[in-house]
């Protein structure tokens, strides 16, 4: 009888515990729903983490969150206890040196070495401050002779890789750069390199491994993203690329640009600086939400009370593409906005610069490698474009882009053309030319601006632009972007691989104009060259 009673009591006890746990969980869940009910946002997000997980899986999270910010305002509730902000003042308040916000549990995801925090993943404020003090001298470069010679060597190696490969992908080359960096950091025989300096300042070997591992992932990839996406924006905006080249060529001719370009010289080139800032603005290297935790007692932001423990994340695309800060065309890559602001409104220009600087963090959370990254960007574009022209191999889908706190980019393939060796002069021969009309959309223009030379694979362009070779391996089936400055039109030229005018030595060319604001080109190609014939690509 006694055993029977015990048998009956145990299930009853377990049931009571389970019921109590369920009640406590329900109370916690309802209180979580209740405490942020005044913050606007999608209803489903306030109930569960599942909507955010679904958005993340699509690879376009930062753009989707920007849309939410545009819809709901400066504060958006995106989870049970998560709120996003998208304005610079809140960013600076949260990250200020004397701020009482702390890093939230989100940073545990950045712990790349299981039993050792890096500076980025470290959440304890006192430990972070002490550790940052040890690392800062190494990143300042004052004790190891500065970083510029080392950056010059890496840029030169990168340019050499481009020069010795006809086709390359930036993703593959940046992977090679990571290997080079790894070897450099591992070779600690030089007492003045950054590794030895960190060790002298009290960083342990285990801590050093965590920092190196993080830098190889976050440091190199963030710079690679800035290079890749700025390159793509320039290649898709020929007027901007031409303006950058003009500033560069003029600087070289006037002796204001050395070889390699010095960091100080690059900072004196206004259009280059505008291009770099605009590239970072359009595609900030890190899109992580970087949740900070509201301290005890709560805080007031935008007239709303945020209770203790609320996780505050940055809506980076809302911040970088704010129409209030950057104008009504904030979603467009246009470096000229920086020159206009600098000439017309100093306060506006400073505000714009201040916002883009937030891409590298602020205050006690600012990236220690910001100066090195800026130096790399100041050099890489000049050293590439002074030597090469580039064309996107697959302009209909130039790359695959996935947003995962950092931009994961694949299949970004460019065709490299030497500016001096692969560019043929405009044909000046006396042979008879057969004219081909320029096609704009579906309308063949009456006045042709192009002629195919009958005695060889040349193209003659009655406009002040370069004339690439046709008919050879260089351009076989690879579309090339051309820009007509007189009409400010972007064009694509194709070597069709077709005889033209019955001449086996001539090659037919098809030129297609891309309407302003278009991103694709395939649907705009019109193979009907007018009443006289049809050229098939």
Binding residues: 367
DSSP string for 149-214: HHHHHHHHHHHHHHHT-SEEEHHHHHHHHHHHHHHHHH-TTSTTSHHHHHHHTT--HHHHHHHHHH
- List, in order, residues 6 or more apart from 198 with CB less than 8 Å away: 134, 135, 138, 208, 211
Which 8-state DSSP code applies to residue 65?
A: H
Q: Shortest CA distance to 398 belongs to which of 170, 219, 118? A: 170
Known binding residues for heme = 367
Q: Shortest CA distance to 218 belongs to which of 277, 286, 284, 154? A: 286
- List, in order, residues 6 or more apart from 125 with CB less than 8 Å away: 102
Structural contact between residues 409 and 399, judged by C-beta atoms closer than 8 angstroms: yes
Structural contact between residues 139 and 131, judged by C-beta atoms closer than 8 angstroms: no
- List, in order, residues 6 or more apart from 391 with CB less than 8 Å away: 235, 414, 415, 417, 478, 479, 480, 481
Q: Number of helices (H) and strands (E), helices first, in the chain?
A: 19, 22
DSSP-assigned beta bridge partners for residue 286: 406
- 3-state secondary structure labels for all residues of 296-364: CCCEEECCEEECCCCEEEECHHHHHCCHHHHCCCCCCCCCHHHHHHHHHCHHHHHHHHHHHHHHHCCHH
- Nearest-Å Rg of the Cα atoms of the chain is 29
DSSP string for 199-268: HHTT--HHHHHHHHHHIIIIIHHHHHHHHHHHHHHHHH-HHHHHHHHHHHHHHHHTT-S-SSPPHHHHTT
Residue 16: strand, helix, or coil: helix
- 3-state secondary structure labels for all residues of 383-440: HHHCCEEEEECCCCCCCEEEEECEEEEECCEEEEEECCCCEECCCCCCCCEEEECCEE
- List, in order, residues 6 or more apart from 316 with CB less than 8 Å away: 62, 284, 286, 287, 359
Q: How many other CB atoms are there within 10 angstroms of residue 388's CB atom?
A: 18
CA distances from residue 218 to 214, 231, 264, 369, 408 in whole angstroms, order as listed: 6, 20, 26, 10, 12
Torsional sign, CA 193, 198, 200, 201: positive
Rounded to whole angstroms, how far apart are CA atoms 67 and 235?
27
By residue count, the chain amounts to: 537
CA 421 from centroid of its chain's CA atoms: 31
């Amino acid at each position: 009888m006694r055993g029977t009673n015990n048998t009956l009591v145990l299930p009853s006890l377990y049931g009571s515990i389970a019921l109590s746990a369920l009640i406590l969980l329900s109370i916690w869940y309802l209180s979580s729903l209740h405490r942020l009910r005044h913050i606007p946002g999608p209803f489903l997000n306030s109930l569960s983490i599942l909507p955010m997980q679904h958005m993340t899986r699509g690879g376009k999270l930062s753009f989707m969150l920007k849309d939410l910010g545009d819809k709901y305002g400066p504060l958006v509730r995106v989870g049970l206890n998560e709120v996003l902000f998208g304005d610079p003042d809140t960013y600076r308040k949260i990250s200020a040196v004397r701020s009482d916000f702390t890093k939230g549990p989100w940073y545990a995801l950045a712990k790349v070495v299981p039993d050792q925090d890096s500076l980025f993943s470290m959440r304890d404020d006192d430990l972070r401050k002490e550790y940052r003090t040890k690392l800062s001298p190494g990143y300042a470069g004052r004790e190891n002779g500065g970083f510029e010679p080392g950056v010059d060597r890496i840029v030169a190696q990168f340019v050499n890789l481009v020069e010795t490969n006809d086709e390359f992908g930036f993703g593959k080359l940046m992977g090679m750069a990571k290997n080079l960096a790894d070897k450099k950091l591992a070779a600690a025989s030089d007492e003045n390199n950054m590794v030895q300096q960190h060790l002298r300042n009290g960083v342990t070997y285990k801590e050093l491994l965590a920092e190196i591992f993080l830098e190889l992932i976050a440091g190199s990839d963030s710079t690679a993203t800035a290079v890749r996406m700025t390159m793509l924006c320039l290649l898709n905006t020929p007027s901007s690329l031409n303006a950058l080249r003009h500033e560069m060529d003029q600087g070289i001719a006037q002796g204001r640009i050395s070889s390699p370009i010095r960091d100080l010289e690059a900072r004196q080139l206004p259009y280059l600086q505008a291009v770099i800032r605009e590239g970072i603005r359009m595609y900030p290297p890190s899109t992580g939400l970087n949740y900070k935790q509201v301290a005890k007692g709560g805080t007031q932001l935008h007239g709303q009370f945020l209770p203790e423990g609320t996780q505050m994340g940055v809506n980076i695309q809302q911040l970088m593409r704010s129409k209030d800060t950057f104008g009504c065309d904030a979603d467009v890559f246009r470096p000229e906005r920086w020159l206009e602001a600098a000439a017309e409104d100093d306060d506006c220009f400073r505000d714009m610069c201040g916002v883009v600087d937030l891409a590298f963090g602020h205050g006690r959370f600012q990236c220690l490698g910001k100066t090195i990254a800026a130096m790399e960007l100041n050099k890489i574009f000049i050293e590439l474009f002074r030597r090469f022209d580039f064309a996107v191999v697959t302009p209909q889908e130039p790359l695959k882009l996935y947003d995962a706190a950092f931009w994961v980019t694949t299949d970004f393939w460019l065709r490299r053309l030497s500016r001096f060796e692969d560019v043929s002069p405009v044909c000046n021969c006396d042979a008879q030319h057969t004219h081909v009309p320029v096609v704009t959309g579906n309308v063949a223009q009456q006045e042709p601006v192009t002629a195919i030379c009958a005695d060889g694979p040349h193209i003659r362009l009655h406009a002040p632009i370069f004339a690439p070779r046709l008919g050879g391996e260089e351009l076989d089936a690879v579309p090339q972007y051309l820009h007509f400055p007189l009409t400010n039109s972007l064009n694509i030229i194709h070597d069709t691989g077709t005889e033209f005018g019955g001449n086996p030595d001539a090659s037919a060319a098809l030129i297609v104009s891309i309407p302003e604001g278009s991103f694709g080109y395939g649907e705009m190609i019109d193979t009907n060259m007018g009443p006289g014939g049809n050229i098939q690509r």
